[in-house]
Structure 1
Amino acid sequence: MRPFRINFPQSDLDDLARRLDHTRWPDEIPGVGWDRGAPLDYVKELAGYWRTQFDWRAVEARLNEYPHHLTEIDGATVHFMHIRSAEAGAMPLILTHGWPGTVAEFLDIIGPLIDPVAHGGDPADAFHLVIPSIPGYGFSGPTGETGWDTGRVAGAWKELMRRLGYERYAVQGGDWGSPISLRLGLADPEHVAGVHINMCVTLPPPDPAAMAGLDDADLARLDFGLRFIQDGMGWQKIQSTRPQTLAYALTDSPVGQLAWIAEKYKEWTDSAKVPEDAVSRDHILTAVTIYWLTATAGSSAQFYYESSHGDAEFARTWGGPWPLTMPVAVASFPRDAVRPVRRFAELILPTLSQWTEFDRGGHFPALEQPELLVGDIRRFARSLKGVTR
């Protein structure tokens, strides 16, 4: 393991500015809004803000407030943040992002998790944090070989926690971080104390009788899922089948990368008219800039190919079942891209011990509703320690 500091050369930022200045803009059918993708006026405005106002050096400085490391695991470079709490009884916790996420999306919850007292909490709720970048993503960089799916990442996380000397730890994740966390529980049952996920895929069981007695809220969740499959999974189909072709556009055009990611902050968050209703534009541009500067649009898309190639494998990757032996917690946010049905979750998660349905928030709770997410993680961790309050 070796220390790592984020510090991109000024020439990379100058190149980004030059490309933004010389964007070749597409036309647009008037009046269609977000129905056919990110609107031209919105992307132009956001690109202008990226070019003239967004301060990447400030983001670098904030990220560099915490220790970063690189290590080699299973032939790949793995970047991770390792932040230890000052509290003696802190529980180790590994947090895993997804797509189009990065380690930066956890910045607002690091303080409350490692130092609850400073944020009005109880010192018994403290955590030591390990926050890695998935191989192929961000500061981990491209893997350079095939085979990096959710199971292989879970194996890498098991090895990472072993190298860090953690005998008992909890895991948390959303988006790809959800199946990675669940697979980590399967891979390391002797050391994983519990698994907390903020996205749970619950596919309807083959038996039609399982549908009997569902209430209106669950039926609405199923209806949303059907509409999402029909209209909202274009990005998944492309990244799961032709990631290399997509990579040329997103690696060459910063505005292409911007639109590809910003659209998801609109569709998957608790937003009304624009993504900034739920997540600040600086947070959105932080994610976009990390993908751009690390040139990992293509390698992150390759992860889709590896983990969900074909519909049957997609269902297995996301839908379980997950025969875990440790407790599992699910935090469900109402405007997420995935809206689970508890009855179905209980069929695939036999050790489900905590289920929380929130009244606000979406796919990026660490950015949208950090207090709610932190509170749910704390409550779950207390249960792992046998504490009730």
Structure 2
Amino acid sequence: MKKNKLTLAGAIVTSVFLLTGTSGFAQTTAQSSASIRPYHISVPSSAITDLRKRITSTRWPEKETVADQSQGVKLDRIQKLVQYWGTGYDWRKAEAKLNALPQFITTIDGLDIQFVHVRSKHKNALPLLLTHGWPGSVFELIKIIGPLTDPTQYGGKAEDAFDVIIPSMPGYGFSGKPTGTGWDADHIAKAWDVLVKRLGYTNYVSSGGDWGSVVADKMAKQQPAGLLGIHVNMPATVPADVALALKNGDPAPAGLSEKENAAFNSLNHLYTKGGGYAAMMVTRPQTLGYGLSDSPAGLAAFFYDKMNEWTYSGGDAEKSLTKDEILDDISLYWLTNSAASSAQLYWENNANNFNAVDISIPAAVTVFPGEIYQAPKSWTEKAYHNLIYFNEVKKGGHFAQWEEPQLFAEELRAAFKTLRK
């Protein structure tokens, strides 16, 4: 796999980004829109002080009236997490994790896109674009950088190596926030191809979960030159008759296999009891954002609810992720004030991301046991017509890259093995 060296258009100027009140981050140096500029994170201490002050002033609701989490995050659990956030958690350690990586920013279609770009030391590394989801971020993906770029240190071979590109989606993290409509998954998919080509690559692969899966699927549908194949861990496979039954609240269609019935039941639970979060973002992201942007406890509870439900942990995210890892992610949303801007993607997309796609380029799928639903192979091969890899693993959930980085890296090595040249 040949790759070109990274070239920076224009002068190389380190860009420092500072918080500007509630408006997010503002660039201090003007650059050509096609340039690639180094990026360094430096959150002002005043923002951290304000966060802790707000946590101290939290007004809590009454305790839930049930013994389980059917009404949402239990009061005692979220109080412990938020208390630690305000007293024991150190954002500077999280900031240092990101600043230890090669970070850059570039402007695509008028919007700043911040990204991590790590080149492997091994020759002929395969360029890999990784896209995070919601309520995830680049923190969801950084643990797999080592196994992917330096496989010989993690049980792999030199020929397994990848160059890794991890952008923050528009409205997420340190990327810019759209000021108008139109930044949907299709637009992001096109922008990602621009990003990869701007880095000098001609051939590459794409992978993601949650929104990352949706973006990878869109890229596969668009078939930009040089995209060799995709890998997704939240595949869109639900057949039309099953999708209609789920939409109408009808029983499962007759004739489904055991695995197909299990998938139907998982999705039926999401649609009837677990999808309220998405309904709010699809219909009223701005209204939701007012509360989440003003209350750290509210933001933490909204995200922690999904982390508990979607990790392979039996409802306790802290069995899969550490408190610090959870708070790294939540803090990123808080400090960039991106609760509303990230939710806008749901409003922009406004589509069912589980319904079967129609993709013909090489595609690979890994099914994790803690995913929102476990896609049956029978459905998957009808949606991804050139299915080059399919595997059901025994651990990991919706945040598989975060929960099981070594396993996920091994899956990517296997998934893309036949596409290396």
TM bin (shorter chain): over 0.9
Normalising by structure 1, we get a TM-score of 0.94
Q: Is the 8 A contact 2:241 2:253 kept in 1?
A: no
1:259 aligns with 2:259: no
Superposition map of 1:239-318 within 5 A: 239-308=281-350, 314-315=351-352, 317-318=353-354
1:153 is matched with 188
Distance in 1 of aligned mates of 2:42 and 2:377: 44
What is the distance in 2 between the residues matched to 1:62 and 1:27?
37
Alignment CA distance shift 1:101-1:62 (3 Å): same
For residues 127-179 of structure 1, give each alpha carbon's deviation from its aligned partner in whole angstroms, at most 9, with x where no partner exists: 10100000011111311111111000001001101111110001000000001
- Equivalent runs, 1:128-277 vs 2, <5 Å: 128-206=163-241, 213-277=255-319
**Cα deviation, residue 53, structure 1:** 1.4
Hey, what does 1:311 align to over in structure 2? none
Seen in structure 2, the aligned counterparts of structure 1 residues 378 and 113 have a Cα distance that, compared at 3 Å, is same
Q: Any conservation in 1 of the 2:172–2:338 contact (CA below 8 Å)?
A: yes
Q: Distance in 2 between matches of 1:85 and 1:19?
A: 42
Query: Following TM superposition, by how much is the alpha carbon of 1:273 offset from its aligned partner in structure 2, in angstroms?
Result: 4.5
State the partner residue of 2:108: 73
Q: Does 1:90 align with 2:125?
A: yes
CA distance in 2: counterparts of 1:251 and 1:264, whole angstroms: 18
1:321 is aligned to 2:363: no
Identify the residue that residue 49 of structure 1 maps to in structure 2.
Answer: 84
Q: What displacement does 1:25 show?
A: 0.8
Contact in 1 for aligned 2:64/2:71 (Cα 8 Å): no
Whether the 8 Å CA contact 1:201–1:339 is kept in 2: the answer is no
In the TM superposition, residue 371 of structure 1 has moved relative to its aligned partner by: 1.6
- CA offsets 1:15-73 (integer angstroms, 9 cap, x no match): 00100011011112344331101111111000011111111101111111111111110
**1:193-216 residue CA offsets vs partner (Å, 9 max, x unmatched):** 1100011132233389x9665332
Is 1:20 aligned to residue 41 of structure 2?
A: no
Q: SS of the residue aligned with 2:180?
A: coil
1:118 aligns with one of 153, 161, 170:
153
Asked if 1:100 corresponds to 2:135, the answer is: yes
2:397 counterpart residue number? 362
Q: AA paired with 2:373?
A: V
Q: Which consecutive residues of structure 2, in runs of 5 or more, have no partner in the other structure?
A: 1-35, 246-251
Cα 1:273/1:146, change in 2 over 3 Å: closer
Letter in 1 for 2:283: T
Counterpart contact for 1:200–1:339, Cα < 8 Å:
no
SS at match of 1:214: coil
1:215-269 alpha-carbon deviations (Å, 9 max, x no partner) = 3232112111112110010001000000000000000000100000011111111
The one-letter code sitting in structure 2 at the alignment partner of 1:279 is L
Equivalent-residue separation in structure 1 for 2:258 and 2:307 (angstroms): 27
In structure 2, distance between residues paired with 1:157 and 1:49: 37
Structure 1 distance, partners of 2:40, 2:223, is: 30
2:240 counterpart SS class: coil
How big is the alpha-carbon RMSD for the aligned residues of Structure 1 and Structure 2?
Answer: 1.6
Percent identity of equivalent pairs: 40
- Match status 1:351 vs 2:395: no
Q: Deviation digits for residues 78-117 of structure 1, max 9, x if unmatched?
A: 1111111111110000000010010111121111101111
For structure 1, the residue ranges without an aligned partner over 5 or more in a row are 309-313
State the distance in 1 between where 2:337 and 2:401 align: 24
Q: Provide the residue aligned with 2:64 in structure 1.
A: 29
Please say if residues 205 and 344 of structure 1, whose CA atoms lie closer than 8 Å, have aligned partners that are also in contact: no
Which structure shows the bigger proportion of residues in helix conformation? 1
SS of the counterpart of 1:288? Answer: helix
Length-normalised TM-score, structure 2: 0.87
CA contact (8 A) 1:114 1:128 kept: yes
Corresponding position: 1:336 with 2:401: no
